[in-house]
């Protein structure tokens, strides 16, 4: 996440959307009417005012957000972890206990967003105070930090010690209850901002992201381009929401039986039962397909082409119709578009010879305007030079051959022969699972193919991608 810190007159301000949201929630938790009821809590012999129990926090969260116990506990933990609520009993343990353990709201002075990043100087003063109070008996990691700081900011150490002494003196003059509260507040703040080794560091955010002072030149050109883009966008044709949104309902409905997470899959989900039949029955080389798979080819032309088996079947149909060259042409175009840049001129040449040249052996019927444009582009062949021609043929197949294929005997017979797998139940004994078999790595298939001297790009795991091999 982006932490924006901008120095304005030496004041560092931090914005993190999650902190803002947390703080809003903390404030509502402290609302005199709708918030948590605060009362005095007894800590050994001292009475601490304005405190609450872990159970109070838990119950308030459940009621306010209508969430489960688990989620309420989870959110409560976050508030304690980030130092917005701190425990009075066992103050070094920043967790939420859902019982009558006492907790208090951290003062905004010590909120993460108010004082970020934690100042080294402040930490030195804090540790010095502790050192003085405990007469040198600091916890191991605190001792290390103390010594390291002493070395690093040695030049201001007199100031540090003076501040520490002054603060200790001032605190001695307070009432015991106040003193305990102030000590807890300060300690909680440092536990969050200087977490002990081994605990989760909430401040760790990963590589720096920039939203101000970015690496993009926000110059006149940038804004001019943006203006141009916005102008074009304004003139864009839009579709009514009702039409667009209806299509999602239809899509979800159509694909629901195919969605293993929504409706399960037959014979079983391999991840749940450890049985890989589902994958075996749906692989490319299977002789009989499943009903769902064959049905899916009827959803859209794209679905048919995406499935290598579907594509093969469609080609067989086209061959019967003497229009197989269309699909071959389409595939050759895919090969140009997605293949190596260096091979483009050679491939384009081949495509021209096989499919577009007058009298070509597999001539495809493209309208004259597209043909003219394509041939012009051949003068300087590039990756997308065949796009228009490819789209023309694609839509030709989609509007004509594809619907007829779906009505053909070839498809209907395939659908009739397709199977619905029998369900495999999960093993009854919970801890005994089936042996999980390895599968050959796709890299192996290629290695073997390479050894055989075949083309590097063909292998059995490629489904709808990679350079298409000539069928």
- C-alpha 63/C-alpha 138 separation (Å) is 42
Q: What are phi and psi of 48, to 5 degrees?
A: -100, 125
Binding part of the chain for other proteins, among 18-26, 146-154, 311-319, 347-355 by CB under 8 A, reads: 18-26
Using the minimum distance from each CB to other proteins, give the nearer residue, 341 or 361: 341
Binding part of the chain for other proteins, among 119-127, 190-198, 222-230, 309-317 by CB under 8 A, reads: 222-230
Task: Decide: is 170 part of the binding site for other proteins (CB under 8 A).
Answer: no
Q: With beta carbons less than 8 A apart as the criterion, state whether 466 and 442 touch.
A: no
**Binding-site string for other proteins from residue 436 to residue 465, where x marks contact by CB under 8 A and - marks none:** xxxx-xxxxxxx---------x-x-xxxxx
Least distance CB 44 / other proteins (angstroms): 33
Least distance CB 153 / other proteins (angstroms): 28
Task: Decide: is 141 part of the binding site for other proteins (CB under 8 A).
Answer: no
Least distance CB 9 / other proteins (angstroms): 22
Using the minimum distance from each CB to other proteins, give the nearer residue, 281 or 410: 281
Task: Decide: is 272 part of the binding site for other proteins (CB under 8 A).
Answer: yes
* Helices and strands per DSSP (H, E), number in the chain: 22, 6
Indicate which single residue of 25, 118, 138, 161 sits in contact with other proteins (rule: CB under 8 A): 25
Give me the residue label for tokens 């909680």.
Answer: 188
Indicate which single residue of 133, 271, 399, 403 sits in contact with other proteins (rule: CB under 8 A): 271
Q: Which of residues 38-97 bind other proteins (CB under 8 A)?
A: 61, 65, 67-68, 70-71, 74-75, 78
DSSP states along 148-185: HHHHHTGGGHHHHHHHHHHHHHHHHTS-HHHHHHHHHH
- C-alpha 381/C-alpha 374 separation (Å) is 9
Task: Decide: is 200 part of the binding site for other proteins (CB under 8 A).
Answer: yes
Least distance CB 287 / other proteins (angstroms): 20
Task: Decide: is 211 part of the binding site for other proteins (CB under 8 A).
Answer: yes
Least distance CB 244 / other proteins (angstroms): 4
Q: With beta carbons less than 8 A apart as the criterion, state whether 127 and 145 touch.
A: yes
- C-alpha 189/C-alpha 186 separation (Å) is 5
Indicate which single residue of 38, 177, 276, 371 sits in contact with other proteins (rule: CB under 8 A): 276
Applying CB under 8 A, what is the total number of residues that bind other proteins?
107
Indicate which single residue of 27, 139, 218, 288 sits in contact with other proteins (rule: CB under 8 A): 218
Task: Decide: is 352 part of the binding site for other proteins (CB under 8 A).
Answer: no
| Sheet with strand 39-43: strands edge to edge | 39-43, 46-53, 102-105, 85-87
Strand partners, 7: 12
Using the minimum distance from each CB to other proteins, give the nearer residue, 2 or 413: 2
Indicate which single residue of 8, 135, 233, 361 sits in contact with other proteins (rule: CB under 8 A): 233
Q: With beta carbons less than 8 A apart as the criterion, state whether 54 and 62 touch.
A: no
- C-alpha 383/C-alpha 266 separation (Å) is 41
- C-alpha 146/C-alpha 398 separation (Å) is 74
Residues making up the chain, counted from first to last: 471
Using the minimum distance from each CB to other proteins, give the nearer residue, 17 or 136: 17
Which tokens belong to 254?
């159509």
Q: Which of residues 239-258 bind other proteins (CB under 8 A)?
A: 239-249, 251-256, 258
* CA distance readout (Å), 205 to 16, 106, 209, 211, 265: 11, 23, 10, 15, 39
């Amino acid at each position: 996440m982006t932490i924006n810190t901008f120095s304005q007159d030496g004041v560092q301000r931090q914005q993190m959307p999650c902190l803002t949201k947390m703080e809003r929630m903390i404030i509502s938790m402290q609302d005199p009417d709708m918030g948590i009821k605060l009362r005095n809590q007894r800590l050994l012999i001292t009475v601490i005012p304005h405190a609450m129990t872990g159970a109070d926090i838990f119950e308030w969260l459940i009621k306010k957000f209508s969430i489960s116990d688990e989620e309420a506990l989870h959110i409560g933990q976050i508030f304690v972890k980030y130092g917005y609520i701190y425990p009075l009993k066992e103050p070094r343990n920043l967790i939420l206990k859902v019982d009558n353990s006492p907790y208090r709201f951290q003062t905004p002075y010590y909120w993460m967003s108010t004082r970020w990043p934690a100042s080294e100087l402040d930490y030195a003063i804090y540790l010095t105070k502790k050192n003085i109070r405990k007469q040198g008996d600091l916890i191991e990691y605190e001792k290390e930090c103390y010594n390291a700081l002493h070395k690093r900011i040695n030049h201001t150490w007199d100031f540090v010690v003076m501040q520490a002494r002054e603060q200790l003196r001032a605190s001695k003059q307070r009432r015991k209850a106040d003193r305990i509260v102030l000590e807890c507040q300060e300690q909680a703040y440092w536990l969050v901002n200087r977490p002990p080794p081994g605990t989760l560091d909430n401040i760790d955010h990963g590589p720096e992201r920039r939203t101000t002072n970015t690496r993009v030149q926000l110059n006149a050109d940038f804004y001019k381009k943006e203006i141009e883009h916005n102008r074009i966008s304004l003139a864009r044709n839009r579709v009514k929401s009702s039409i667009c949104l209806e299509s999602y309902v239809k899509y979800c409905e159509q694909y629901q039986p195919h969605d293993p997470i929504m409706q399960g899959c037959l014979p079983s989900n391999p991840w749940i039962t450890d049985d890989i039949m589902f994958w075996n029955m749906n692989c490319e080389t299977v002789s009989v397909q499943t009903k769902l798979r064959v049905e899916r080819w009827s959803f859209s032309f794209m679905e048919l082409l995406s499935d290598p088996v579907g594509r093969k079947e469609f080609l067989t149909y086209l061959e019967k119709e003497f229009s197989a060259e269309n699909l071959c042409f389409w595939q050759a175009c895919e090969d140009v578009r997605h293949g190596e840049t260096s091979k483009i001129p050679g491939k384009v040449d081949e495509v021209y010879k096989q499919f577009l040249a007058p009298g070509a052996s597999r001539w495809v019927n493209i309208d004259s305007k597209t043909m003219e444009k394509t041939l012009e582009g051949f003068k300087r062949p590039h990756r997308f030079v065949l796009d228009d021609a490819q789209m023309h043929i694609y839509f030709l197949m989609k509007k004509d051959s594809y619907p007829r294929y779906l009505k053909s005997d070839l498809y209907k017979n395939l659908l009739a022969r397709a199977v619905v797998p029998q369900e495999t139940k999960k093993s009854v004994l919970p801890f005994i699972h089936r042996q999980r078999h390895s599968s050959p790595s796709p890299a192996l298939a290629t290695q073997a193919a390479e050894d055989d001297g075949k083309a590097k790009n063909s292998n059995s795991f490629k489904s709808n991608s990679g350079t298409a091999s000539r069928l």
